Amino acid sequence: VDVVPTEFSVEESDRGSDFTAVDQDTTVNATAVIHTHKACEMQREECIYNLIPKVRVEPVKPERYRSKYDPNVQPTGTTFGVCGKTKLEGANLGSAQRYEKPASARGFGRLPAKPDPKGFIRKGERSASATAVVSKKPGKFTYSGQTRPPVVKKDDKPIMGLKSAKNFVTANAVETILAVPGYRAHAKNEPPQYMTKEDYGQVPRYLSQVKDEIERENSMIEEFVRQNHNLMEDDGRDRVEPMDERERLALVDALKSKWDHVNAKYQKLCHNVVFDTLGKVRRKETLEKELTQLEKDIQLLEKGHVVVSQNNDRY
């Protein structure tokens, strides 16, 4: 920071005290201090002493730490590789005693010193024992069931020179002449005998079926006409029957639940003071009419004795 020297001037203070001016020697001393400070800064940046090579002190490397305990000893309380052993609480408990790892965990995470490049695992090598085809020698065939008769051996020789005195041509002709003619010969040479049939002189079966169908249709038509005639006669007089008590109570409960549902809708609409639209007015009138009709029906059914008319009249 450059400080520019200035002359100190004395002004009068509010108290009215008078101060004397600073001496000229004080101003000169301040200027000299500032120049000395600048010279020191320049000396730090550019100095001939900086050309002297500095001596580099190499740090002393301490010796490598080696534990006084055996590195082959398992950590205290470890449970690695103790599966199936009686040592349930872990290895090396209580003291740093040497404990050898089992053979199953001795080489865990370590590679052999010199791996063989030709000794890699082939495809299906580990599962060869499970998928290997077991070759069995063929055994003797044993069968206790019924067998066919033995065939003629290839070295058997039939008896040659046997002759028969039968004349097959004459024998066949005699058998054909003496044979009884069959049914086809009779049917071909003789005309059909209709009088010998089982259904001769009887009504054919298809005519009986047609007659039964006609009678069934006629009976259905007569029944339909009779029912229509009875309905027409019953229309002239009232047919009345009492309502079942269970049906009446169930109907009353259903009407009351219906009244509660409609009344809930009506109560939600009643808080409106102004019905400014035609839809609101019609909705309110519809709910009022429905509530009035439900109340009338409930009062009618609660009288106790209800008679139902088949002519859609209410009593």
The whole-number pLDDT of residue 258 equals 94
The whole-number pLDDT of residue 229 equals 82
The whole-number pLDDT of residue 243 equals 84
Say what the pTM is.
0.27
Q: Give how far Cα 70 sits from Cα of 89, 103, 305, Å.
A: 21, 19, 108
Best CA proximity match to 290, nearest among 309, 262, 252, 267: 262
What does the pLDDT profile of the chain (315 residues) look like in tens digits? 444 444 444 444 444 444 344 445 555 565 665 666 666 665 567 778 888 888 889 999 999 998 887 777 766 666 665 555 555 445 555 554 555 656 656 665 666 567 778 888 888 777 756 556 667 777 888 888 888 888 888 888 888 888 888 999 999 999 999 988 776 766 667 777 888 888 888 989 999 999 999 999 999 999 999 888 877 776 656 667 888 888 889 999 999 999 999 999 998 888 777 788 888 889 989 999 999 999 999 998 888 788 877 665 444
Partners of residue 91 on adjacent β-strands? 78
Q: Please write down the long-range contacts of 239-248, taking CB distance under 8 Å and 24 or more positions apart.
A: 239/309, 239/310, 239/311, 240/307, 240/308, 240/309, 240/310, 240/315, 241/307, 241/308, 241/310, 242/305, 242/306, 242/307, 242/308, 243/306, 243/307, 243/308, 248/301, 248/306
Quote the CA–CA distance of 285 and 293 in Å, as a whole number. 12
Dihedral sign computed on CA atoms, order 293, 298, 301, 303: negative
Cβ count within 10 A of residue 254: 10
Tokens of 101: 């790892």
